[in-house]
Structure 1
C-alpha cells in the first residue's frame, strides 16, 4: 500500500512539474507585455528608490566614521550587480512567469490610469514609511528578539 501511494505521489509530482513547465513557456509577445508593465509602472525609478531606501536603512547601523565608505562601496557593488540595467530583463521574465500576457496588458493599462499614476507617485514614500515602521517594530522589541535568539541558539 505504501509503495502504491508513493508511486502515485511521484507520478503526480512529475505530472504537476511537467504541467508547470508547459505553462511557463514565454513567447516574445508575453515578454514584451511584461516589459511594458515595467515601463508603465516606472519600475526603473521604483527600483532605484527601493535600493536607496534599503541602503539608507542599512547604513544607519554602520558607525558614523565608516558610513561614507560603506555607502560608497555598496553603491559601486549595486551599480555592478544590482542596477536596473542588470536586473530589468530578469524582472520582465519574472513577471512573464507569474502573469498571463492578458494580465500584463491589463496591468500596463492600470499603471497608465490616474490611479496607477497616483500609486507610482506615492509608492516611494509608502516603501520608505513601511521600512521605518518595520525598523521601529524591531527596535521596540529588540530586547525580546535578542533573548529569543539567545534561547534558540543555546545548546
Structure 2
C-alpha cells in the first residue's frame, strides 16, 4: 500500500512538471526562485523524499528493503530530482503568491523563528508521516474490509 502511495506521489510530481507556465513575469519568477533558495528547498526536498522512501520501505520484506531503496533512489534521481522539479516549483509558488507575498515569506524565513521552522521542518514531516502511518496501521483491518467491500462488485 505504501509503495502505491509513493508511486502516486511521484506521478503527481511528474504531472506537475508537465503543466504549462502561465504569463508570469521574469521578476515574479526570480522572486519565487529567491524564496526557494531562502528556504533551502533543495535540501528539504531531498530530506522529504528520503523520509517518504523510508516510510514506504517499512512494508518491504527486510531482505529486499536495501534493493528497493536502491532502485527507488535511482528512479528518483532519474525522473524526480530537484533539478528536474525546481523550475516548476518556482512557477507553482509564482502562481500561488504575489511578488509582495513571496517577499514577505522571504523576510519571515530570514527571522529567527523562520530559520527555526526551516530547521524543524524535516523533523515535523517525519513525525507527521509516522503519525499518519500509525493511524492507518491501527485501522488496517477496517481499511482492508472497506477496500474489499468497495471492489467486491468489480471482480
Shift of 1:25: 2.2
RMSD of equivalent CA atoms = 0.8
Which residue of structure 2 aligns with residue 124 of structure 1?
122
Alignment pair present for 1:140 and 2:133: no
Q: Distance in 2 between matches of 1:76 and 1:154?
A: 37
Deviation at 1:142, TM superposition (A): 0.4
What is the alpha-carbon distance in structure 2 between the residues aligned to residue 63 and residue 43 of structure 1?
32
Q: Distance in 2 between matches of 1:137 and 1:129?
A: 12
Q: Which residue of 2 aligns with 1:12?
A: none
Alignment of 1:53 onto 2:51: yes
Within 1, Cα distance between the matches of 2:41 and 2:60? 29
How many residue pairs get aligned? The number is 132
Between the aligned partners of 1:105 and 1:51, the Cα distance in structure 2 is 27
Does the residue aligned with 2:59 lie in a helix, a strand or coil? Answer: coil
TM-score by length of 2: 0.83
Aligned to 1:25: 23
Counterpart in 2 of 1:16?
A: none
Q: Secondary structure at the match of 2:50?
A: helix
Structure 2 unaligned runs (5+)?
1-21
Instruction: Point out 4+ residue stretches in structure 1 off by more than 6 angstroms.
Output: none
CA distance, structure 1, for counterparts of residue 28 and residue 98 of structure 2: 7
Higher radius of gyration, 1 or 2: 1
Give the unaligned 5+ runs of structure 1: 1-23
- In structure 1, the residue matched to 2:105 is 107
What aligned pairs does 1:58-69 form with structure 2 within 5 A after superposition?
A: 58-69=56-67
SS of the residue 2:54 aligns to:
helix
